[in-house]
Amino acid sequence: MKRRDRERIDDVEVALIAIGSHLARGGLDDGLVFDAIRIRFIEIGEAVKGIDGALLNVAPEIPWQEIAGMRDRPTHHYFDTSHAILQATIDHDIPLLWDAVGLLREALAGDRPKG
């Protein structure tokens, strides 16, 4: 059964919450935190790959293709995953992604049948 956009957006939000929780336990120098966050980036990338492109267009400032690619790098090149890149993504992109999740939810709510 194909997952709907709403479920995939939920997946992104759950992963973002988990990343925040992991960071509250420690920084990326902690191997468990690093691994846990890396897995959540894989989940975010996989979820974004499945969201309809027309829906993603409501937040064109977000580099959706790069986010979808976040799944590929840690999955296929896990020994090359850099702490610095993950930290930069956390610092710069996570806040933008939170905003984008809100925009996607608003767009989906606007598509609901009235009544």
Catalytic residues: 71, 76
Strands (E), the chain: none
SS3 50: coil
Residue 65 host element (H or E)? helix 64-69
Q: What distance in Å separates the CA atoms of residue 107 and residue 27, rounded to the nearest whole number? A: 34
Residues 6 or more apart whose CB falls under 8 angstroms from that of 35 comprise: none
**Cα within 13 Å of Cα(79), Cβ side:** 0
Q: Among 33, 51, 30, which Cα is nearest to 97's?
A: 51
